[in-house]
């Protein structure tokens, strides 16, 4: 059957992209900042054993999924699924259950990422992924709110953008 893979949660994928990815750090002007230590981020078993370079590469591979549109997301996730060689299987562990497996455990993290995105996006929730609307940020987010109208990664970025918009409006009306 191969090596069993558990899909990564979207919160974990966001953490990988925002902590290890070069794109969010580039937008924030922090690209030269030191990368975080592996102990801060790697809590999921699928990611343990990855080097810092592998985490950066994985994060940079994932960023366009958050920053893209549905057709781009579909292409990217399908490519991740194909590259990892992940396959569905039925396993008997206290009854039958569906599992995912890969022939090579070295692609387990890529497969766990691809399956996690496939599950989320396959449910028609592509509009629930995005990147921060604050020009000084670039972080990825997943919208779990009931309304589904998220545009910012955090309240801090939302407040910063609103304050800047207020100052722009106020400056043009009161020179």
pTM, two decimal places: 0.82
Domain layout of the chain by residue ranges: 3-173
116 SS3 class: helix
Radius of gyration for the chain, computed over Cα atoms and rounded to the nearest angstrom: 19
Average pLDDT for the chain: 85
Of the listed ranges 42-51, 60-69, 124-133, 162-171, the least confidently predicted one is: 42-51
Q: Do 20 and 13 meet the contact criterion of CB atoms below 8 Å apart? A: no
Task: Among 35-49, 69-83, 88-102, name the most confident range.
Answer: 69-83
Q: How confident is the model over 45-52, as a mean pLDDT?
A: 84
Place 100 in a pLDDT band, splitting at 50, 70 and 90: very high
Beta sheet of 87-92, edge-to-edge order: 3-5, 96-102, 87-92
Closest by alpha carbon to 128, among 120, 136, 137?
A: 120
Architecture field, domain 3-173: Orthogonal Bundle (1.10)
pLDDT tens sequence across 126-167: 788 999 988 888 899 999 888 888 889 888 989 988 888 888
pLDDT tens sequence across 16-38: 999 888 887 777 776 655 556 54
What is the pLDDT at residue 39? 43
Place 60 in a pLDDT band, splitting at 50, 70 and 90: very high
């Amino acid at each position: 059957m191969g090596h069993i893979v558990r899909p990564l949660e979207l919160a974990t994928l966001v953490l990988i992209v925002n902590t290890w990815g070069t794109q969010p750090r580039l937008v924030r002007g922090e690209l030269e900042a030191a990368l975080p230590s592996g102990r801060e981020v790697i809590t999921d078993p699928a990611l343990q054993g990855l080097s810092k370079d592998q985490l950066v590469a994985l994060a940079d591979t994932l960023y366009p999924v958050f920053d893209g549109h549905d057709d781009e997301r579909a292409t990217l996730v399908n490519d991740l699924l194909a590259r990892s060689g992940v396959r569905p299987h039925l396993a008997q562990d206290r009854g039958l259950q569906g599992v995912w497996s890969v022939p090579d455990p070295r692609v387990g993290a890529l497969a766990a990422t691809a399956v996690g995105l496939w599950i989320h996006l396959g449910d028609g929730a592509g509009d629930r992924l995005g990147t921060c609307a604050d020009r000084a940020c670039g972080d990825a987010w997943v919208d779990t709110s009931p309304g589904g109208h998220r545009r910012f990664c955090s309240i801090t970025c939302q407040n910063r953008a609103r304050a800047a918009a207020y100052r722009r409006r106020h400056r043009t009306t009161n020179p």
